[in-house]
Copies of this chain bind each other. A is one copy, B any other.
Amino acid sequence: MRCRDDEKQQNIKRAVIKLILAEGFHGLSISKIAKEAGVSPATVYVYYENKEAMLYDIYRECGEQIYAYVLGRIDCTSGGERFVESMVQAYYTYIVEYGEEFYFVEQFTSCPALVGKCSGLEGNARIIRLFDELKRKRIIKDLNNQIIAAILFNPVKSIAVKYRQNPDARTVLAELIPVIQEALLAD
């Protein structure tokens, strides 16, 4: 018998991510996905149980990828300032390099109807543990984790979005880093 082709599933995943950026969750359809992925609509159902499960699955993959990317590039051993800087840089680089995945996760996350049916990401728990550790070591202030995450990620995100493919972005980022450092790091 023919064997499950991992490349086909990758094509489908890529098609979904690409189309979501171009047309949003509304405007996404199985037949568009199939056409973009170069397979038959029925083939999609070989790899995913249904559309909803497919989106959850891809969301999970992309969501975890973000955390893995950032966590893999953080420098936690050279003090708080370096920690913030490396985190911001990593997150910004991720958004620039993986824009499509990023926007997929963004749209999915900001839709309560979608994210509400989905359990939290594993990567998020890892970040929280990291924050707790850094607080214990008195590297960052003893703040609510939600606040830390919000200050650390959201401004970078909004700059990355606004300055998409604008060379000034790095300058703005350089301006942002000390602000975050001042806000989060213990004296």
- A contacts, CB < 8 Å to B: 1, 21-28, 42, 103, 106-107, 109-114, 141, 143-144, 146-147, 149-151, 154-155, 157-159, 162-163, 172, 175-176, 179-180, 182-184
Q: A26-B25, A106-B110 are in contact. Are A150 and B146 (CB under 8 A)?
A: no
Judge whether A144 and B172 touch: CB under 8 Å: yes
Chain B residues with Cβ below 8 Å from A155 are 146-147, 150-151, 154
Interface SS majority for chain A:
helix
Bound-state Cα–Cα, A158 to B149, Å:
9
CB-based closest 8 A-B pairs: A154-B154, A150-B155, A24-B113, A183-B183, A150-B158, A25-B26, A110-B110, A24-B111
When distances are taken between beta carbons in the complex, the residues of chain B under 8 Å from A158 are 146, 149-150, 154
User: Quick one: closest B residue to A172, CB to CB?
Assistant: B144
Q: What are 16 A-B pairs with beta-carbon distances under 8 A?
A: A21-B112, A22-B113, A24-B25, A24-B111, A24-B112, A24-B114, A109-B110, A146-B159, A146-B172, A147-B159, A149-B158, A150-B159, A151-B155, A151-B183, A182-B183, A183-B183
- Chain B residues with CB below 8 A from A23, complex form: 113
CA distance A114 to B55 in the complex (A): 19
Q: Is the CB of A103 within 8 A of B107?
A: no
